[in-house]
């Protein structure tokens, strides 16, 4: 933009141009998309400043509250990537100081806990025998990666299988498990909940994996809610008991 600088843009938006200047400026805007974009940006800047410069006491209070809650729910000061272990609650520290034996047990527990969760969550993806169906070929390909624990590679294939055949409970179920293994808990829960709600043969398995996603976050209440959906006569009940005992 050779002719019009920022001062011109400001004067235009703030209605400070003479009629002659205004006509020439608007004509230039029609032929110069960059000038038009800069005018739009200045309008946006003004709107944002008008909204956010005045003191907002609620936002300030919300920032303070979330800063406090961050200290409770995260571990500030941990600069290295987390290992994925389950965190020990902060309030356990004084208890541990008072009882060394208990502390030793608690300190050893997280990695063991995660290891056992992994063991409980292990499953193989069953092969698909039908031929010539697009969903099945995607599932077969996904099964190879899934069973090699390359869940990030299995995930897009399973997603493709779900898109290709929205009624495929098998694809949805394994999509949920693969998503869980890759850390996409929302996709995992969304997929597994659908499997459970649709009452497929994998309904109880879906409930078990839902419980696992919550157990990993140490959300015992939600995990138990899902475990209780598994009938005591169901084959999955044994694993369900193991998980419940583990959380105790």
Partner 1 sequence: MAIHPDQRFIGGLLANDGPTVDEIYRKYAGTIRNFICKNGGSEDDAADIFQEALIDLYNQARYKDLQLSCPFEAFLLLVCKRKWYTIQKKKGLHRVTNSTEEVSLVGEDVFARAEQLAAEESRARLFLEQFARLADKCKEILTLSLTGEAQEKIAERLGVTYGYLRKKKSECMATLLSYIQAQKL
**Interface residues toward partner 1, by CB under 8 A:** 5-7, 9-11, 14, 16, 38, 41-42, 44-46, 48-54, 56, 58-59, 61-63, 65-67, 69-70, 72-84, 152, 155-156, 159, 162-163, 179, 182-187, 189-190, 216-219
The CB-of-98 to partner 1 minimum distance in angstroms stands at 26
Residue 48 vs 104, nearer CB to partner 1 = 48
Question: What number of other Cβ atoms are within 10 A of residue 178's Cβ?
Answer: 28
The CB-of-45 to partner 1 minimum distance in angstroms stands at 5
CA atoms of 154 and 148, how far apart (whole Å)? 9
**Is 29 within 8 Å of 39 (Cβ atoms)?**
yes
Question: What number of other Cβ atoms are within 10 A of residue 132's Cβ?
Answer: 6
Residue 61 vs 99, nearer CB to partner 1 = 61
The CB-of-210 to partner 1 minimum distance in angstroms stands at 13
Residue 52 vs 228, nearer CB to partner 1 = 52
Residue 48 vs 108, nearer CB to partner 1 = 48
Residue 110 vs 156, nearer CB to partner 1 = 156
CA atoms of 31 and 16, how far apart (whole Å)? 22
The CB-of-158 to partner 1 minimum distance in angstroms stands at 9
Concatenating the DSSP letter of every residue in 143-199 gives HHHHHTT-HHHHHHHHHHHHHH-TT-HHHHHHHHHHHHHTT-HHHHHHHHHHHHHTT
Residue 120 vs 236, nearer CB to partner 1 = 120
Nearest to 161 by CA among 175, 150, 147: 175
The H or E element that residue 197 is part of is: helix 185-197
Question: What number of other Cβ atoms are within 10 A of residue 206's Cβ?
Answer: 28
Q: Which residue has the tokens 């009452």?
A: 199
CA atoms of 191 and 198, how far apart (whole Å)? 11
The CB-of-238 to partner 1 minimum distance in angstroms stands at 27
The CB-of-149 to partner 1 minimum distance in angstroms stands at 14
């Amino acid at each position: 933009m050779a002719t019009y600088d920022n001062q011109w843009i400001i004067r235009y938006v703030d209605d400070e141009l003479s009629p002659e200047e205004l006509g020439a400026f608007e004509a230039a805007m029609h032929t110069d998309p960059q000038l038009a974009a800069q005018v739009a940006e200045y309008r946006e800047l003004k709107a944002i400043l008008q909204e956010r410069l005045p003191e907002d006491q609620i936002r300030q209070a919300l920032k303070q509250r979330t800063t406090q809650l961050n200290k409770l729910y995260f571990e500030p000061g941990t600069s290295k990537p987390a290992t994925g272990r389950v965190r020990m609650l902060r309030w356990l520290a004084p208890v541990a100081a008072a009882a060394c034996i208990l502390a030793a047990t608690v300190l050893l527990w997280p990695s063991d806990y995660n290891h056992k969760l992994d063991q409980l969550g292990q499953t193989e993806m069953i092969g698909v025998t039908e031929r010539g169906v697009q969903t099945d070929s995607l599932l077969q390909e996904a099964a190879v990666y899934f069973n090699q624990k390359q869940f990030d590679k299995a995930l897009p294939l399973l997603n493709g299988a779900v898109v290709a055949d929205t009624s495929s409970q098998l694809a949805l179920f394994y999509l949920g498990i693969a998503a869980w293994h890759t850390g996409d808990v929302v996709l995992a829960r969304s997929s597994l909940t659908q499997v459970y709600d649709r009452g497929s043969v994998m309904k109880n398995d879906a409930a078990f994996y839902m419980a696992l996603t919550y157990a990993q976050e140490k959300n015992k209440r939600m995990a138990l809610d899902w475990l209780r959906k598994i009938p005591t006569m169901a084959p999955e009940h044994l694993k369900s008991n193991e998980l419940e005992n583990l959380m105790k």
